[in-house]
Amino acid sequence: MSRPDPEHRRADLDGLAARPVNFDDAEAPADAHDPRWHVDHGRALVGHETPGDPVPGGDWERACAALRDYQFTDPRRLRGAFRPTDPLMGRDMLLEGRFGPLRFHLGVRVTALVDEVRDGRRVWGWTYETLQGHLERGRLTYEVVKDLTTGDVEFVIRAFSRPAHIPNPLYRLGFGLFGRAVQLEFYHRAGQRVRDLVAAAGRGRPLPQPVPGPDGITVAPQGSGRHWTDRVAVLVRHPGT
């Protein structure tokens, strides 16, 4: 364990290339009632446009930009580090989960993109899967969906997950007690944040942009790269197996 440091962030991000996805597709839940997994499907109304194709510069495109640049997380709980010059498909991302005095470095990889019209809805989004060392095993898909008939724009999360093997008994106990509640809180706040960003952009406030540092790494959401608590926080790197 150590203190959070940009050198650790860069080393851990670069090391993700050698880490495999920590579950097999054959293990994926058969349906929403599979008792082995938490299966989640959440949606939040984040904007509205005139019916038909997305309006250039409108709410759908704004929501897609927030999603693409990973600006929708609550930085009090989760930050993401990545190189924005890397293609989105296949991109490795280092997530920094924050809980009390602890910071967890966790790896994920973007494994699928969607950009299509589906059942009368315009859909754009991406999926990531957890890597070896993550506290969880699973897959999470984020989508921005416009109903072409009503003009409603929604932010949609679809996910399945379960705890990974966590060797440290203290972290295992803490994750067992609080992990699910923190996860559901994250889903709820993500929808709120996309809605707030879209609304602010509609009033003329620029959307946050990924700003890379000297090492080419950006920490998202914008403005969340460092916090005063990082000076005393304990960094736990890849706690799962």
Q: Do residues 74 and 194 touch, judged by C-beta distance below 8 A?
A: no
Cα 104 to Cα 8: distance, rounded to the nearest angstrom: 12
The pLDDT score that the predictor gives to residue 193 is 96
Higher-pLDDT residue of 184, 232: 184
Q: Do residues 122 and 146 touch, judged by C-beta distance below 8 A?
A: yes
| Total-model pTM | 0.93
List the domain range (segments joined by +) for residue 220: 6-15+37-237
How many domains is the chain built from? Answer: 1
Say which CATH number the domain at 70 has. 3.30.530.20
Cα 135 to Cα 11: distance, rounded to the nearest angstrom: 19
The answer to whether position 20 is within a domain reads no
The pLDDT score that the predictor gives to residue 101 is 87
The answer to whether position 23 is within a domain reads no
SS3 7: helix
What pLDDT, in 10s, does the model give residues 85-140? Answer: 999 999 999 999 988 889 999 999 999 999 999 999 999 999 999 999 999 999 99
The answer to whether position 115 is within a domain reads yes
The answer to whether position 205 is within a domain reads yes
Name the pLDDT band for 231 (thresholds 50, 70, 90): confident
* pLDDT of 6 above 90: no
Average pLDDT over residues 189-198: 96
